[in-house]
A and B are shown apart, each in its own frame.
Chain A
Amino acid sequence: MNVSLILIILLVGAFATFLAGDKLASKVALFFGLAAAGAAIVLLNHYNLGENISFINQWITQPNISFALKADGLSMAMLLLTTVLTPIIIFSSFGNDYKNSKSFYALILFMSFAMAGTFLASDGLLYYIFWELSLIPIYFIALIWGNGDAEERKKAVVKFFIYTLAGSLFMLVAFVYMYQKAGSLLLEDLYKLNLSATEQLWIFLAFFLAYAIKIPLIPFHTWQASVYQKAPTVGTMLLSGIMLKMGLYSVIRWQLPLAPLAAKEYMYIFIGLGIVGVIYGSIVALKQKDLKKLLAYSSLAHVGLIAAGTYTLTLDGLRGAVLQMIAHGFVVVGLFYTVEIIFRRYETRAIAEMGGIRTQSPKFTSMFLILVLASVALPTTFNFIGEFTVLYSLSQINIWFAILGGTTIILGAYYMLKMFQHAMLGETNTKPFADVTVNEGITLVLIIGVLFFFGMYPKPITDLITPSLEEILTQINRIN
Chain B
Amino acid sequence: MNTLIAIIGLGVLCLLFEIFNLRKAIVPITILGLLGVLGLTISEFNSTESYYNNMIVVSKFSSTFSSLFIVLTIFLVALGHNFYENHQSKISDYIAIKIFLLAGSVAMVSFGNLAMFFLGIEVLSIALYILAASDRMNLKSNEAGMKYFLMGSFASGIILFGICLIYGAMGSFDVTEISELSQSAELPVWFPIGIVLVTIGMLFKVAAVPFHFWAPDVYEGSPALTTALMSTLAKVVAMAALYKLLSVMNADISESFKIVVVVISMASMTVGNIMALRQTNVKRMLAFSGVSHAGFMLMTLLSLSTSAGSLLYYASAYSLSGIAAFSVILYVCKNRDNEDIVNFHGLGKTNPLLAAILTAALLSMAGIPIFAGFFAKLVLFNQTIQAGYLALVIVAVVNSIISVGYYFKLILAMYTKESNEERKGTPVIIYAVAVIAIMLNIALGLFPSFVLDLLA
> Which residues of A are interface residues toward B (Cβ below 8 A)?
59-63, 125, 128-129, 132-133, 135-136, 140, 143-144, 150, 153-154, 158, 161-162, 165-166, 169-170, 172-173, 176-177, 179-180
Contact = CB atoms under 8 A, between A and B. Distances in A.
B404 A172 contact: no
Contacts of A176: 378, 381-382, 385, 393
Given A143-B415, A158-B412, A132 B368 contact: yes
Interface stretch (B83-91, B158-166, B446-454): B446-454
A206 B9 CA distance: 55
Nearest to A129: B369
A133 B382 contact: no
Interface residues of B, number: 31
28 contacts: A59-B449, A60-B375, A60-B448, A61-B449, A63-B378, A125-B378, A128-B369, A132-B369, A132-B374, A135-B368, A136-B363, A136-B368, A143-B416, A144-B415, A150-B416, A154-B416, A161-B404, A162-B408, A165-B368, A169-B400, A169-B401, A170-B397, A173-B397, A176-B382, A176-B385, A177-B390, A180-B382, A180-B386
A51 B126 CA distance: 67
Interface string B370-382: 1000110011011
A265 B235 CA distance: 49
Contacts of B385: 173, 176-177, 180
A60 B449 contact: yes
Contacts of A169: 397, 400-401
B152 interface: no
B456 interface: yes
B401 A173 contact: no
B171 interface: no
B405 interface: yes
B394 interface: yes
Contact of B378 (A150, A161, A162, A172): A172
A11 to B, nearest CB: 11
B11 interface: no
B404 A162 contact: yes
Nearest to A175: B378
Considering the complex of A and B, which 4 residue pairs feature the smallest CB-CB distances, nearest first?
A129-B369, A166-B401, A169-B397, A60-B449
Interface SS, A side: helix
Contacts of B415: 140, 143-144
A165 B378 contact: no
Nearest to A128: B369
A179 B382 contact: yes
Contact of A61 (B386, B393, B453): B453
B145 interface: no
A31 B355 CA distance: 29
B394 A173 contact: yes
Given A133-B369, A136-B363, A180-B386, A173 B381 contact: yes
Interface string B433-456: 000000000000000110011001
Contacts of A132: 368-369, 374
B184 to A, nearest CB: 34
A107 to B, nearest CB: 12
Given A62-B452, A62-B456, A173-B385, 12 more contacts: A60-B449, A61-B449, A62-B453, A63-B379, A162-B405, A165-B368, A165-B401, A165-B404, A169-B400, A172-B378, A173-B397, A176-B381
A463 to B, nearest CB: 35
A91 B22 CA distance: 60
Contacts of B386: 180
Contacts of A62: 309, 449, 452-453, 456
A172 B398 CA distance: 12
B412 A143 contact: yes
Contacts of A128: 369
Contacts of A179: 382
Contacts of A162: 401, 404-405, 408
A136 B385 CA distance: 28
Contacts of B456: 62
A352 to B, nearest CB: 30
B370 A133 contact: yes
A132 B370 CA distance: 9
Nearest to A150: B416
A210 to B, nearest CB: 12
Nearest to A158: B408
Interface in B389-412: 390, 393-394, 397, 400-401, 404-405, 408, 412
A125 B382 CA distance: 12
B138 to A, nearest CB: 35
Contacts of B412: 143, 154, 158
Contact of A63 (B370, B382, B390): B382
A61 B368 CA distance: 21
A60 B416 contact: no
Highest count of chain A CB atoms <10 Å: which of B309, B394, B401, B452: B401
B449 A173 contact: no
Contacts of B348: 144
A121 to B, nearest CB: 12
Interface in B209-261: none
Contacts of B370: 129, 133
B363 A60 contact: no
A234 to B, nearest CB: 18
A172 B390 contact: no
A158 B370 CA distance: 20
A159 to B, nearest CB: 11
Contacts of A144: 348, 415-416
Nearest to A166: B401
Contacts of B408: 158, 161-162
A177 B381 CA distance: 9
Residue from A154, A158, A161, A169 with most neighbouring chain B CB atoms (10 Å)? A169
Contacts of B393: 173, 176
Contacts of B448: 60
Interface in B343-387: 348, 363, 368-370, 374-375, 378-379, 381-382, 385-386
Contacts of B382: 63, 176, 179-180
Contacts of A125: 378
Contacts of A165: 368, 401, 404
Contacts of A172: 378, 381, 397
Nearest to A58: B449
Contacts of B379: 63
Contacts of B397: 169-170, 172-173
A369 B412 CA distance: 40
A59 B453 CA distance: 13
A91 B382 CA distance: 44
B91 to A, nearest CB: 39
A191 B451 CA distance: 30
Contacts of B381: 172-173, 176
Contacts of A135: 368
A235 B183 CA distance: 62
A62 B385 CA distance: 15
Nearest to A179: B382
Interface string B404-437: 1100100010011000000000000000000000
A176 B408 CA distance: 26
